[in-house]
Amino acid sequence: MSQSLARKGRMQAYKMVLVQLAISFVLFLIGLLISGTVSLSLGVGSLIVVLVNFIFATIVFRKSGAQAALEIKKAFNFGESLKLMLAAVLMAFAFIVLPVQGAPLLIGYSIIVLSQWFAPLIIK
């Protein structure tokens, strides 16, 4: 029973990551209408969120059940900490190494983060 609940939760989390990936692709295409650099910036910013959310979902939904409540809490805390640190590192990497513009990168990042607010409407 608990394994099926964890599997259901994991599948919903992965569906949300796929929706975010689709939104990222749309942002990339919209950016192409403006310029290559804007497109790259929107894509990189949005893919940072998609990647860290995928890693978070993978870590959190490894365990399930009341017996593993403490492990789930630890996994959630670890996953959230890793998510924030990895997002900061990837953002710094993007600004230092890639030819991106700051505003479009942050806009792409923000749009995907905001898409999480609408997750209950998208994923049932």
pLDDT tens-place string over residues 26-69: 999 999 999 999 999 999 999 999 999 999 999 988 876 666 77
Q: What three-state secondary structure class fits 62?
A: coil
Contact 94, 45 (CB under 8 A): yes
In terms of DSSP H, where are the helices of 35-68? 36-60
- How far apart are the C-alpha atoms of 70 and 76, rounded to whole Å? 10
- How far apart are the C-alpha atoms of 98 and 76, rounded to whole Å? 31
pLDDT tens digits along 63-87 = 766 667 788 889 889 999 999 999 9
The pTM for the full model equals 0.87
Q: For the chain, how long is the longest CA-to-CA vector? A: 53
What is the pLDDT at residue 44? 96
